[in-house]
Amino acid sequence: MRTSDAKTSGEVHFPHPSGALVIEIGLVMLQGSRQAHVKAIESAAEKAGANVNIREVRTPGDLLEPKLHAIILPGGESTTMRKVGGEAGTRVLGEIFKMLRERPDLPVLATCAGTILLADPQDEGPPIIKAAVDRNAWGRQIDSFLASVSILGEGEQTQCAFIRAPKFTEVPPGLTIASIEGETVGVRERNVIALTFHPELSRTTVFHEMLLEAVAANNDQVNA
């Protein structure tokens, strides 16, 4: 089980406090529970002793300098998100997909509609994750629910919100990191953490911590 001891025993290596790596996190501002992600990432950063700068990503220009170390793709309504960020909108989505294909090690946290976009980018390029999802497969908005999620490496289950959530229809072996009653609700492919629910609306910050750990691991490789 992940404990705070594990964190202080050198599991995560963030240069800190000064001359430190400032982790640039792009928070995609298309729709959805963005402020909750800010709170979750800030509390994950505090636990890990990491310095983070959260950059709101609205347009392709927001993806440029300084180079992003990680991206959060919140939920919302994927059809609306495609309109707002697509070719007829800001075009930011296409640029995000391009960046994720060019930088396959980039840590990403996608929740709900964010996961739908990664599984089915609809931009003529390949999917960003191999796991496939079916939109709204749990039912309509009224069928949204709270469920106890088992998280890989965590002893206790965590109550999480499933809001008009998608379902994974195909999950390559070994990728499941979260499940309810044996059904996969979260995967990790490389450094892409893709969930069908909203951990940012629950008490757990474990997925945001995972994102920061992936950044730290990338950084260690660069400095090795």
Task: Please identify every residue annotated as catalytic.
Answer: 112, 198, 200
Angle between helices 78-85 and 92-102 (to 10 degrees): 100
User: Which amino acid would we find at residue 170?
Assistant: E
Distance CA 185, CA 147 (A): 11
Return the sign of the alpha-carbon dihedral for residues 81, 86, 90, 94.
Answer: positive
Q: Could you tell me how many residues of this chain bind ligand GLN (CB under 6 A)?
A: 11
Residue from the set 75, 85, 121, 186 that interacts with ligand GLN by CB under 6 A:
75
CA distance 39 to 34: 9
Residue 111, SS3? strand
Q: Which of 50, 112, 210, 214 binds ligand GLN (CB under 6 A)?
A: 112
**CB environment 85-118: b (16+ within 10 A), e (fewer):** bbeeebebbbbbbebbeeeeebbbbbbbbbbbbb
Residue nearest to ligand GLN (CB): 75
> Which residue type is seen at 91?
R
Is there binding between residue 78 and ligand GLN (CB under 6 A)? Answer: yes
Give min distance, CB of 196 to ligand GLN, in A. 9
Q: How far is CA 215 from CA 9, 59, 72, 208, in A?
A: 18, 23, 13, 11
Applying CB under 6 A, the span of 2-10, 71-79, 147-155, 216-224 interacting with ligand GLN comes to 71-79
Stretch that binds ligand GLN, among 39-47, 72-80, 146-154, 180-188 (CB under 6 A): 72-80
Contacts (CB under 6 A) with ligand GLN, residues 155-174: 163-164
Q: Which stretch binds ligand GLN (CB under 6 A): 39-47, 73-81, 150-158, 216-224?
A: 73-81
Using rule CB under 6 A, residue 77 touches ligand GLN: yes
Instruction: Give the interface segment with ligand GLN, choosing from 34-42, 45-53, 108-116, 205-213 (CB under 6 A).
Output: 108-116
Q: Is 15 exposed, middle or buried (0-12, 13-18, 19+ CB in 10 A)?
A: middle
Determine which residue in the list 43, 136, 218, 219 makes contact with ligand GLN, applying CB under 6 A.
136
| Residue ranges that bind ligand GLN, judged by CB under 6 A | 75-78, 112-113, 116, 135-136, 163-164
